[in-house]
Each structure stands twice: as C-alpha cells, then as structure tokens.
Amino acid sequence: MSNEYILEVTDLTKKFPGVLALDDVSFELGRGEIVALVGENGAGKSTLMKTLIGIHKRDNGVVRFDGKEAAFEGPLDAKNQGLVLIFQELSLVDDLSVMENIFIGKLPMKGLRVDWKSMYDKTTEALKRLGCKFSAKEIVGNLSISEKQMVEIARALVFDAKVVFFDEPTSSIMQHEKEMLFKNIRMLKKQGLGIVYITHKLDEVFELTERIIVFRDGKRVGTVKTQDTNIDEITEMMIGRAINDYFHKNKANPGKEVLRVEGLSSKGSFEDVSFSVKTGEVVGFYGLVGSGRTEVVETIFGVRKATAGKVIFNGEEVAHLNSKRSTDIGIGLVPEDRKGSGCVLGMSCLHNISLVKLPEIKKGLFLNKKAEMDIYNLYKDRFGIKSPSPNQLMRNLSGGNQQKIILAKWLAIDAKLLILDEPTRGIDVGTKSEIHNLIAELAESGLAVIVISSEMPEIIGVSNRVYVMRSGRLVGRIDEEEGITENALINKIIV
C-alpha cells in the first residue's frame, strides 16, 4: 500500500440472494483528502460501507487500512482501529449524555470503576475543537439534529479516527448548520484524516470534495477530479444516460375542486390557512423548515387536531378527521419521514403495497394472495420498482424503491387526493426524475396532488400553483401564469 493512501480497497465483492451488490469494487482514499462517493439508490454505496466495517461479510477482495490488511469484525472494531462511519440515521442513544454516547462500548476504566473524569475531559476537549456550545454532560435527546452530528464527529476525534465516512449528513439540517458541518469536515482534512462524503446533493460534492468516485449497479464506473467535471457529466455517469428534461411538469387541466381548506388552524403550529386543490393539478407548498407546511397537511389527514377552520372534501365538510377516515374517503399521505411513518420496514414489499387495501382483499380470516400479488405486479411494472422478490423486506430496499412502494400503496386504494411531503428527500438524481414524472402523470390522469418540498428547483419544476408559508401562516400564492421563479418565492419568504 502506498504511503499516499490511508485506505485502499481492491476487488471487493458482496453477494446477497439474487443480487450482486458489489462487483469487484476498487477505490483508494488519500490522507487529508475529501472524496465524494455518489450513485443512485441501490448502486452499492451503503453495502460498501457496511461490508468495509464488517456488518456484512465480504465474499472476495482485500482491504488495506493504515498500511495493513484489515478485516473489521464490526463497527466498534472499526472505530477502535480508526475508521468511523457517521450514518444518515445517527447511532446515538437519546437518554444518555453526550460523553456516554461517545464512549459507549469502550468506557474508560480506573480499576473496576468507570473513569468519569477522563471521559468528561476528553469529550470536552473534542467539543471545544468543534466549537460546540453544549456540555459533555448534556442529554443527547435535548440536542438538535445538527448538534447530534457534532457528537458523532466528536466521537471520531476522541478515538483518533484516521478515516471518517459521512452518509447523507445534510439531509435534515438547515443552511447555517451545513456551513458549520463543512467547516468541521475541512478541519478534519487539515488534521490529515481521510474523508469519504456520500450524498445525493451534487452541489455539495462540488463545494467540498477533491475527487468523485461514481458507482452504478454495484460497480465503480468512474473516478474524476472534481475541478475537471460538472454536474451533468456526473449525473450521466450515475444513471448511464443523459437527463434531457429533469422535470416533467404536467399540463394542468384543472377540473372540479377536490379539497377546500378554510381558516384552518392548529394551536401552536399554524393559523388561518385557506387554499384549494382541483383534479388534474399539482399544488406546491414552499417555506423554510418550521414554517408549518408539514403540520398543515398532517392536520388535513387527521394526524394532528385542528383547533379552528374547515376541511371540505369533494363538496362535503369533513369533521373530526383521523387517518382511517381520510383513507376511507380517498386521501393519501406520503410522509416526510419515509422510514419512520411511511412504511413498515420489517414487512415485505408485497405486504406494504397492500397494507391499506387489506379490508378489500381478505377472504374471511385469510388474505387473497392472488389479489395481493396482482396489486404488487401492477405497480412493480408501472413504477419500475426494483426488488429481487416481492418478499424482500422494505428495510433492504433503496430509498427510491421504498418511496415508489409507498406511492403504490395509496394508488392501490384509488386515492383522489395525494399529499407528498418531501417526496424525493434522500433519493438519487435518476429516481428523483422518475418520481417527478410520476407526479406529473398522476395529475394528468385526474388526481389532485399536493407537494411539499424544501428544494426550490423541485417546487418550481413540479407545481402548477405554489403557496408560500412563513411562521405558521400563508404569506403568498404564485400561479403558473405569473411565473413561479426563485425570485418570486424568495420575495414571499423574506417580505
């Protein structure tokens, strides 16, 4: 292994039943280098990480780390040797303190007792280096997502990490928090650590990294210097084709009014919200995180309780909404938290798609398995769902395929109104384009669609009309005829 490299992977292979997840993958990471690892969902990025640290046993290949051949027995072993993974779903225990989380699995001991002073001092030093304002004794459950990320980075510092993998680290944080994260990543680079940055946000790749390694279908398909390429070229490498029209906006042909909301309020979250949605159109909601967008649609669906106002669906006022009633009358909600609320990760693709249709496909006490399989096959073909088997567990699918199955679940009950909250969060660029096309097709087929997104290009690209929210209130409406532009949206936010 060259002294230039801290990590070198050669011909790494990993097979699962029916799937070649990693196909002779090779790559290298230099000391003091930030490398991006990009690819569509299912390209093999997560499998690579988990195989490297021993969560999955590799079938073939060699890993050399810090000058020696390595075979980590699991995340703790990898961390102890200096390779740390910071996952998108942070691996912290909310009920424990910051310092307890950092040293979990390897508590410093003084004889038979835990050395609390050493734990506190080392954690405090790491937090100080990162510019953190919270204490080593703070309970993690009291921290924001960005502060929890700092705890994960502090863990890397305490354990003298040599390599840190960041997996989608900005998926749930705001712009100023992202700037702090990038500052700390650059600090780690200056200290000689090797950084692997995994993201679907290609603008971040060009802002932060020096090289880009592209994965597709379990293979490394290219490596380029960041300064020598552009987003279009990387996108084509990722998906194997050019995206000529990234957004396919539906040709709005509004029909009858499906939903009317009048003066809707939920105390402490939002107040006096009024709008309508018709068949054949996509209505967007835009605003900063915390503006009340999600709370509005959760109240319409019945997850939250309204304290004032009316919800009128297909011409009739609907009182005392709850999720079952909403489902029964034809409202579907694809929530922001795909894994936590949108699906059942421990169930199969087949059962997830048919979940809300169970009352219709039962035969007495049993399921009509043929009817269930017919639903699965219909949407597998229609949406291009990639799964080795209908019995594959949801947790083993990529984010994009999970999202397609959640969409299919609601279409299977012939929903009249489909609400999509951050429909492409954490999804690769190719699958994003597919979902944008699906949104347009659904509207063109006569469905009424609401889309909430924090991504300005997305909300502009898919919407026929946009409502803008700030601090729990609607502050503006922009119709397609006026021109839904970045300036128009920004002006509504800041005025």
The DSSP string of 12-69 is: EEEEETTEEEEEEEEEEEETT-EEEEE--TTSSHHHHHHHHTTSS--SEEEEEETTEE
**Max mean pLDDT range (88-97, 238-247, 461-470):** 461-470
What's the pLDDT at 69? 92
pLDDT over 90 (residue 243): no
Tell me how far apart the alpha carbons of residues 37 and 43 are, in angstroms, rounded to a whole number. Answer: 10
What's the pLDDT at 242? 58
Tell which wins on pLDDT, 432 or 441. 441
User: Which token pair is 156?
Assistant: 């890397």
Nearest partner of 455 among 425, 429, 419, 430, judged by Cα: 425
What's the pLDDT at 252? 67
Query: Confidence class of residue 274 from pLDDT cuts 50, 70 and 90?
Result: very high
Beta bridge partners of 85: 165
Dihedral (CA of 94, 99, 101, 102) sign:
positive
Query: Confidence class of residue 250 from pLDDT cuts 50, 70 and 90?
Result: low
Instruction: Give pLDDT tens digits for 128-138.
Output: 888 888 999 99
Phi–psi pair at 73, nearest 5 degrees: -90, -5
pLDDT over 70 (residue 358): yes
What's the pLDDT at 130? 81
Mean local confidence (pLDDT), 62-90: 86
Distances (CA, A) of 357 to 97, 354, 365: 43, 5, 15
Query: Confidence class of residue 254 from pLDDT cuts 50, 70 and 90?
Result: confident
Mean local confidence (pLDDT), 46-74: 90
Residue 253 CB: number of other CB atoms within 10 A?
A: 13
Instruction: Give pLDDT tens digits for 90-131.
Output: 678 889 999 999 888 778 888 889 899 999 999 999 898 888
**Max mean pLDDT range (22-36, 148-162, 481-495):** 22-36
Domains defined for the chain, CATH in brackets: 5-239 (3.40.50.300), 257-494 (3.40.50.300)
pLDDT over 50 (residue 414): yes
What's the pLDDT at 169? 82
Query: Confidence class of residue 89 from pLDDT cuts 50, 70 and 90?
Result: low
pLDDT over 50 (residue 411): yes
| Identity of the residue numbered 265 | S
pLDDT over 90 (residue 341): no
Tell me how far apart the alpha carbons of residues 426 and 400 are, in angstroms, rounded to a whole number. Answer: 8
Tell me how far apart the alpha carbons of residues 116 and 108 are, in angstroms, rounded to a whole number. Answer: 8
What's the pLDDT at 32? 94
Q: What mean pLDDT value characterizes the chain?
A: 87
Query: Confidence class of residue 383 from pLDDT cuts 50, 70 and 90?
Result: confident
Tell me how far apart the alpha carbons of residues 222 and 233 are, in angstroms, rounded to a whole number. Answer: 11
Query: pLDDT exceeding 90 applies to what percent of the chain?
Result: 43
Mean local confidence (pLDDT), 191-213: 91
pLDDT over 80 (residue 422): yes
pLDDT over 70 (residue 11): yes
Mean local confidence (pLDDT), 65-82: 88
SS3 280: coil
What's the pLDDT at 1? 43
Tell me how far apart the alpha carbons of residues 198 and 432 are, in angstroms, rounded to a whole number. Answer: 17
Nearest partner of 288 among 449, 434, 453, judged by Cα: 453
